[in-house]
Amino acid sequence: MVTAVITVLVVLIAAAIALAGASVRVLREYERAVVFRLGRIVEKRGPGLVLLVPAIDRMVRVSLRTVTLNVPPQDVITRDNVPVRVDAVVYFRVVDPNCAVVAVESYLKATSQIAQTTLRSVLGKAELDSLLSEREELNEELQKIIDDQTEPWGIKVTTVEIKDVGVPQAMQKAMARQAEAERERRAKVINAEGEFQAAARLGEAADVISKNPTTIQLRYLQTLSEIGINQNSTIVFPIDLVQPLLKAVQGQEEPQQAQLPQGNGVAAPLTQSKDREAADER
């Protein structure tokens, strides 16, 4: 009899432990619980300790952390009929656990499918140049469209980024030739602008030099000295070009020599004293 009682007690304790294990749940800080009681949804619970009615309540865990969803590569034909292969990444999180469980069967799979179709639709309307150079605008447009479509499911799409754009090999060669031609065009334009500025400066210098012919001779001599740096060079001085310079120099020296006796006040008294001494000797 005692043995039967002990057996019953053990069974009851085991059943109580099993029921307690089935009715107690512990949720982490980033988790929420969607509880169904006899098929009806009740308020969301968590985090912390959650008590359930055994055999009556059913709980679904939902994570509120941001999910990183890799969109598989999609074959897209751009607006200018260029086939490309594009892959992207989508960042989203659950903001309403009840809608994420009730409104859609699998919010992860549904968000992935929406991202793929939206990626093909939006990028198919863009040209190849804008697809390569205007990714920020395209990312914002993709994010807005996907977020609007997933909002009824309690999903918030925070960011959409285009990771890679695969261009065919033939198109890559054509783009390389185009870039090379553009660089050559810019080089020619810069060279032409430099020549134009140099010609303008030379014109200004010619106007300054033409006002004084002597500067032309000095410039010529300076050019000859620059050429004569090499020891194997022979320099020829044309007399017609050197004579104006010599005349100009001589013309500046003669007035200086003529002014020296007039400016010296000692020369006249010395001459008069010598004449007096000669007269006294006679």
Distance in angstroms between the alpha carbons of the first and the last residue of the chain: 185
pLDDT tens digits, residue range 90-123? 999 999 999 999 999 899 999 999 999 999 999 9
- Residue 83, Cα to own-chain centre: how many angstroms? 26
Cis amide linkage into residue 47, ω under 30° from 0 = yes
**Where do the H-state alpha helices sit in the chain?**
2-23, 97-102, 107-123, 128-133, 135-150, 169-210, 213-227, 239-263, 267-281
Residue with the bigger pLDDT between 250 and 186: it is: 186
For residue 173, the Cα-to-chain-centroid distance in whole angstroms is: 24
List pLDDT tens digits, range 171-230.
Answer: 777 777 877 888 888 888 998 988 888 888 878 877 777 776 666 666 766 776 666 666
- Residue 75 half-sphere exposure toward CB, CA atoms < 13 A: 2
By 3-state DSSP, what share of the chain in percent is helix, strand and coil, each rounded to 5? 60, 20, 20
User: Tokens standing for 269?
Assistant: 């008294």
Q: Is 67-167 a CATH 3.40.50.360 domain?
A: no
CA contacts within 13 A on the Cβ side of 74: 23
CA distance 275 to 205: 60
Phi, psi (rounded to 5 degrees) for 17: -65, -40
Q: Which residue has the higher pLDDT, 95 or 56?
A: 95
